[in-house]
Chains A and B, each alone.
Chain A
Amino acid sequence: MEKQDNLDNINQPEEVRVGVYVCHCGGNISDVVDTKAVVEAASKHPNVKIARDYVFMCSDPGQKLIIDDIRENNINRVVVSACSPTLHETTFRKALRRAELNPYLYEHINIREQDSWVHKGDHEGATAKAIRLTMAGVEKIARQDPLEPIVVNAEGHVVVIGAGVAGMRAALALSRRGLGVTLIEKSAQMGGRTRELDTVYPTEEKAADIIAQLEKAVRDAKVDVRLNSEVEAIEGFIGNFEILIKSADSKTAKARAGAIIMATGFNHYVPYEGEFGYRQSPEVLTLPEFNKLLTELPPSQKLTYKGREIRSIGFIHCVGSRQTEGIHQPQPDGKVNDYCSRVCCTSALHTIHRTLDRFPDLHIYDLYKDIRTYGRGHEDYYERASKRGVLFFRYTDDGLPVFTPPQKDKTATLTVKDVLTWNEEVTIPVDMVVLVTGMMPRNIANLITMLKLPIGADRFLQEVHPKLRPVELANNGILVAGTCQGPMDITECSSAAGAAAAKVSILLSKDTIEMDPFVARVDTARCDGCQLCLAECEYKGALTMAENRAKVNPALCAGCGSCVAVCPTRAINVAGWTLDQFDAMIDAIGAEETESELVPA
């Protein structure tokens, strides 16, 4: 492993002195990987001044080894080969900080989840892999300069776009945490689509009461509510957004905000003409249309519609949701809605109960693919429906129900191949059909373009990660709450809004915001001003030209690296992840030694 120090191409003001620390993780690593062999191989690298192995590097004594070496042996770069960086990268960065070394002069190599645990039967192979990966870490960190977190000023004010339940909840939570809030609502009133509902599952409260309470709280909290208003333009970046608001009467106003919460909600799926007879036969309605009919119906003994008495209704689930390519008609973008709209199963059953409460003699037929009454108390609606005589039929995409409109003296029918009775074809006479339509995102194309918001394959706004960062968008300082992110019910919208508000209030808790430094950086000495990188950047204002050199606005840069790949001189790189570092890692991984040459017998 004899190697030359070939770091002359980077500007290192001091000698690079790497410390390598190989963890046994009890025996999790050392039972498979020969950690002594890794230490020995690492020691041969000209920049590695100290290499040690230890039983638990993350323990206090383990961290102390590193801290002491930094203080006493002038170690100025650290590599720890241990578990996954997702567990302990921050632990060790903090240890470096305690030793007064820049925390970004640290590289974490995973030799547990991605080595000892997955190559148990091959000690030599696993050890050779650990050596190569550790050497790659050494090469990378040897080329790392100290990095400083990006610090921007933070405006203690938030703009929330959309005043449905999610937006109202978020605004209220933010305001209660002492932040100023502007709530921008396109329509003339707050409440969003919850306003369309009568009672709501699972609490059976009146939707109007929920909205009235929320509206009062929002007003009492002195949230700056802008009804009949939309965002006309947005400039700036995390901590310092400038939003131009335009009202329906064309008046404009400006708001400054440290963060933005998107809460623009959902649209109902609208069936195409002829989908299960929709818009061709008057007896076919969507669930929201039927809900409205039921709510507006004057007290009466009979359910009548367009002058006719309704004695039987068939509900068809999953209309506009869980579609299959080749079977269902795609949306204008060529894609079908393959996702589950989640709330419609329970809301259909909830509506069925509301209907039966008023018209107990009605015959109700429920045609479903799956019943997904997933939330607390939701299954109860399903069980009670069976007990009340609702007849359930299960269909698949291979045998979608067929609607036949009424003929002279015959009522309309639904024909279904019922999976529950081994595909028996059943024809059900019905006076009315209710299509249980799903959710689609609202058309917010202008905001998506203006802010470069990420959308998923389902066209809803897409969080950074569904589990790790569920309410953040990749755009720094822009968060998401409620059904603009995907189908949710009111309870889930409220949780999401609370989470987004909590994230924002942590972000804006101080006058400044500190962010990871992993954004693009330009070496002005290498940049020749060709501007190729500018054309690659999707984030407005992140990359501009200044004095004929590319210039990054770190607060606007998402750190994706799109610009890096096209720079002919390698002048632009993502800090902490430069191409020179990757090349050096590849050299270490690709190095010619065989397993047996690397690992002593």
Chain B
Amino acid sequence: MSGQNNNTKILLITTMISSYPGANTVGQARLQYSPGTYIIRVPDPVVFPESFYMRCFEKGIDGIIIMSSGSDCPYEGAYRRLSERVGRVYNRMKESGIDPSCLKLTTICTVCKAAFLKEINEMQANVIKARSTQKESAA
């Protein structure tokens, strides 16, 4: 796997209680994935306003995977709020000409190793595809 990875930067927003330990499980199993992946942990991704995601794209992040705890989220009403918000972010992405496939809300638990890798690979493919479409339309 090349260090360049087409220079993609994928942000993985993980939850302290499930997907962050999930990413550790992937590491403990020594499963390999692209280093162009940056994991940040939060109590819950519901904390981020729409503008946070848009700012990430402006500041050099190519793709974002929100690895939430899904309906297992321990915080009352947080998952519903999060998914509604992500819906609004999609609208803003479309308005700004950012390919919506560069943002994904998914659920990852402490042992979801295969799903974790699948999400990263898919996002990487999406980001590369979005880039080439953008280049084509610019040309």
Residues of A within 8 A of B (CB): 84-86, 110, 112-115, 117-126, 128-129, 132-133, 136, 452, 454, 456-457, 462-465, 467-468, 473-474, 518, 536, 538-539, 558-562, 564-566, 574, 577, 579, 582-583, 585-587, 589-592, 594-595
Contact = CB atoms under 8 A, between A and B. Distances in A.
A133 B41 CA distance: 12
13 contacts: A110-B39, A118-B35, A119-B34, A121-B32, A123-B3, A126-B35, A473-B74, A538-B76, A558-B75, A560-B46, A562-B81, A589-B9, A590-B61
A591 B58 CA distance: 11
Given A468-B17, A560-B78, A590-B60, A577 B43 contact: yes
B48 A122 contact: no
Contacts of B72: 456-457, 462
A114 B34 CA distance: 11
B73 to A, nearest CB: 8
Interface residues of B, number: 54
Contacts of A115: 35
A124 B71 contact: no
Contacts of B115: none
B24 A561 contact: no
Interface of B: 1-5, 7, 9, 11, 17-18, 20-21, 23-24, 26-28, 30-44, 46-50, 52, 55-56, 59-61, 71-78, 81, 85, 110
Given A114-B23, A125-B5, 18 more contacts: A117-B30, A122-B1, A126-B35, A136-B40, A462-B72, A465-B17, A518-B43, A538-B78, A560-B78, A561-B47, A564-B49, A582-B40, A586-B56, A586-B61, A587-B59, A589-B9, A589-B61, A594-B4
A474 B46 contact: no
B26 to A, nearest CB: 6
B47 A586 contact: no
A586 B47 CA distance: 15
B38 to A, nearest CB: 5
Nearest to B21: A86
Contacts of B55: 583, 586
B35 A113 contact: no
A538 B75 contact: yes
A474 B30 contact: no
Contacts of B20: 86
A454 B76 contact: yes
B44 A560 contact: yes
